[in-house]
Amino acid sequence: MVDRLSIITTRTGDEGTTGLGDGSRVTKNNPRVEAMGDVDELNSVLGVVLAHMRNEEKLNEYVVVLNRVQHALFDLGSELAVPGFKQLQDAQVTYLDENIAHFNARLPALKEFILPGGSGIATHTHVARSVCRRAERSVVNVADLGPHPKQYLNRLSDLLFILARCVNQSLGVNDVMWQRQT
């Protein structure tokens, strides 16, 4: 493997700008950079979820799916880092759609809203879902992206909601049902 990042500290961002993959420089609060950061944070939160899931053999099928998601999020990051570059494809969105249908079919219908909670792993998955929603909102603010990044994050947040419920089910923990306060 070629050393791609041999120098990590460049000091080129000390004045509040960062370089994009096309060589241009933008401020660190540029919508593109904000979106890159939110997608990166989502990927990191998924790393936490996966670290916990790997300790539970009965969650292995979710690990397989989320490993693939992490790689797709890195692809999305490359689209954000290089203006005009397209990396995500229909197949990646379709993969999420298929898994949404597959895992949702195992769950009982919801008769009420649920709160983030139950098992620790499900709770972390709900955190990932909420970070995914923020990343989606950030990506919408980047003008020159195609439809796939928005579609991917929209579907991913749905999948994470479903997986949080599946994790609770797999671990024998009840979802936390919302109760109207009177």
| Sign of the Cα pseudo-torsion (18, 152, 62, 38, in order) | positive
Query: pLDDT tens digit string along 161-177?
Result: 999 999 999 999 999 98
Which residue do the tokens 């923020």 mark?
Answer: 134
Cα torsion through 16, 12, 23, 5, rounded to 10: -120
Residue 15 to residue 18: CA distance in whole angstroms: 9
Rounded to two decimals, what is the model's pTM?
A: 0.90
pLDDT in tens, 89-120: 999 999 999 999 999 999 999 988 999 999 99
What dihedral angle (degrees, nearest 10) is formed by the CA atoms of 158, 161, 167, 172? Answer: -130
Topology annotation, domain 29-177? Hypothetical Protein Ta1238; Chain: A; (1.20.1200)
How much is the pLDDT for 12?
55
| Tens-digit pLDDT profile for residues 23-65 | 888 887 899 999 999 999 999 999 999 999 999 999 999 999 9
Q: Which residue has the tokens 């759609």?
A: 97
State the pLDDT at residue 29.
Answer: 85
Contacts of 108 (CB under 8 A, 6+ apart): none
Q: Return the percentage of the chain with pLDDT > 70, whole number.
A: 92
Position 5 scores a pLDDT of: 59
Residue with tokens 């599946």: 166
Q: For residue 42, count other CB atoms closer than 10 A to its CB.
A: 29
The domain ranges of the chain are 29-177
